[in-house]
Amino acid sequence: MTTTTLPCSQASLDVGEPIYATAAEKTDVWLLLEHDGQWAPKVLESPGLAPRTRAWLEEFLADNPTARVQLIRRGPSPNRDDKQRFFFATTGEDNAAMWSFGYTDPAELEKIDLYALLESPRALPESRRFRPLFLVCTHGKRDACCARLGPAIYQALQPEWEDEVWQTSHIGGHRFAATMLCFPHGHCFGRLDAAVARRVASGYAARRLTDLLHYRGRSTYARPVQAAEYFLRQATGSYAIDALHYSRGELLDPDRWRICFFDKASGETHELTIARVVGPDRAPASCGEAPKPVDRLVLESHRQLTS
């Protein structure tokens, strides 16, 4: 099996692999746990992670297949207290919310009623977090591109977003490094440089999506829905985070989907047909892996249903 010596992020760029519709899909619950020790390729196997914490997380994941755990860390800060941080985010369209918890003993985590948070964004109001949170992937144990490109983006955001930006473990798609997740909505961006990252963070804080050429998608959506959202935002200039509502989707055949979005501002429903196309281009998914065919989700049609 032939591998390439090019970094996977460069190989992806060289073949023009699209970045849209590449966010982790169908993920609408995020557990973000501060862990200053080493991050293993599989984060729950990381050394220094308390066994009871690992068991607590694994039990929740077993009950909630659309949930995901991220390990996070940040550098020294004059505003830091002596507590570790745990964030819980629900990123669905109708329940996007985030909570922040400080703890000194891992046993304290088990007292958090995570299922109450799933039930309502109004649960535990004293722990609700309303400021944005930005996670930049720097997880070198998973892929060298994230370790090579991620830290500079984290440092670039620090002056303005000191308490809002964290480093995180693998979020998927390291060939699109540097990558960043934005909470509480779970929007993902990639191929960031310092200037783009600053614009994305500022726009997101103002509840707008900027730099769509770097937009990977919203993690709560499946890939075809991510693609439809991208094409619709490009076509209509609807950049407000809450501008669009996913109405329905239909599988037409194994590689074609009909997706409908409602535009809240105009009152229009848009129907988009998305198709998966595999061409001759090949690129590795990770550094050191063999190149594989690059698939693309393309727009076949777009029509307005109502006005």
Alpha carbons 91 and 74: distance in angstroms, whole number = 23
- CATH architecture for the domain at 24-220: 3-Layer(aba) Sandwich (3.40)
Confidence of residue 144 (pLDDT cuts 50, 70, 90): confident
Instruction: Return the pLDDT at 3.
Output: 61
pTM of the model: 0.94
Which residue has 């390291």 as its token pair?
A: 174
The DSSP string of 250-266 is EEEETTEEEEEEEETTT
Structure tokens at 202: 């500022």
Instruction: Return the pLDDT at 306.
Output: 66
Alpha carbons 298 and 261: distance in angstroms, whole number = 17
Per residue in 254-306, pLDDT (tens digit) is 999 999 999 998 999 999 999 999 988 898 888 888 899 999 999 999 999 96
Tell me the backbone φ, ψ of residue 34, rounded to 5 degrees.
-70, 130
Confidence of residue 77 (pLDDT cuts 50, 70, 90): low
Burial of residue 297, with CB atoms counted within 10 A of its CB: 0-12 exposed, 13-18 middle, 19 or more buried: buried
pLDDT at 15 over 50: yes
The DSSP string of 224-236 is HHHHHHHHHHHHH
Q: What is the tally of helices (H) and strands (E) in the chain? A: 6, 13
Helix (H) or strand (E) holding 29: strand 29-34
Instruction: Return the pLDDT at 143.
Output: 74
Alpha carbons 261 and 270: distance in angstroms, whole number = 5
Alpha carbons 299 and 301: distance in angstroms, whole number = 6
Average confidence (pLDDT) over 179-196: 98
Topology of domain 222-307 in CATH is Nuclear Transport Factor 2; Chain: A, (3.10.450)
> Where do the structural domains in the chain lie, given as residue ranges?
24-220, 222-307
Q: Provide, rounded to the nearest whole percent, the portion of the chain with pLDDT above 90.
A: 83
The answer to whether the beta carbons of residues 30 and 70 sit under 8 Å apart is yes
What integer best gives the mean pLDDT of the chain? 93
Structure tokens at 69: 């755990």
